[in-house]
Amino acid sequence: MSLRERKKLATRKALIETARHMFAERGYDNVTLEDICETVPVHTTTFFSYFGSKEELAFSYQLDALAAFRVLLKERPPGSDVVSLWWSFRDNFGQQERGEESRVLTQMDHVPALRNRQADIVRQYVEEISQALAEGEGGGAADELYSTLYASAMMAVYLAAARWFAGKFGREIESSDTSVFTKLIMSKFPSLDEIEAEFKRLRRAA
């Protein structure tokens, strides 16, 4: 990279690390963009050449991960197991909830802007995973709906599991633990054939 590119990368990193520390210490709503920019320091107008909003800054790590996952899906070998690819990515890309970032995310229930942003990121993951799953199926409408159902359930269980672990044990749970729990639940998820067979049974019974 050129010197200019290195400086831009360093400034972006400084904004992220400063914001995470301040959000965790003071609370998201109690930190302004001016506070962050003054600490780095950069001008507030310069900030918007790096991030579109304070919410985007708060979720910069997750947004970077989402972008990396899209590339991984696009470049995956033909016939790859999409679900296994997701779990490998989730466990190995450095997605473990950690330190200041984890404490920021725990504020979501009390900050609508964070909650909405997280929901949007989850929605995008569901779209990416379901589309990739459907591409490996027969391509019919039922396959597309099932892929969306599976991806939505998997993400919902993962998030619920993370909350459950945090509430049960009162600590920052490792992503790998949450993954094990989610995989256990999803192992009971019915296949498309099982769902269609049950639907036919109910139709005959009616």
Residue 61 predicted with pLDDT over 90? no
The number of domains in the chain is 2
Per-residue pLDDT band for 97 (boundaries 50, 70, 90) equals very low
State the pLDDT at residue 103: 63
Q: Based on the domain organization, do 72 and 22 belong to the same domain?
A: no
Q: Based on the domain organization, do 102 and 187 belong to the same domain?
A: yes
Give the domain range for residue 148.
59-205
The reported pTM is: 0.84
Give the list of residues 6+ apart from residue 116 with CB closer than 8 angstroms, or none: 55
Q: Based on the domain organization, do 75 and 177 belong to the same domain?
A: yes
User: What is the average per-residue pLDDT within 81-98?
Assistant: 77
What rounded mean pLDDT belongs to the chain? 86
Q: Based on the domain organization, do 35 and 68 belong to the same domain?
A: no
Q: Based on the domain organization, do 84 and 136 belong to the same domain?
A: yes
Nearest to residue 90, comparing CAs of 122, 113, 136? 122
Q: Based on the domain organization, do 121 and 157 belong to the same domain?
A: yes
Q: Based on the domain organization, do 66 and 35 belong to the same domain?
A: no
Euclidean distance between CA atoms 147 and 34, whole angstroms: 44
Instruction: Give the CATH number, domain containing residue 140.
Output: 1.10.357
pLDDT, tens digit (0-9, with 9 covering 90-100), for 135-157 = 876 666 778 999 999 999 999 99
Of 53, 70, 87, the residue that ends a domain is 53
Count CB atoms within 10 A of the CB of residue 20: 20
Per-residue pLDDT band for 70 (boundaries 50, 70, 90) equals very high
Instruction: Give the CATH number, domain containing residue 37.
Output: 1.10.10.60
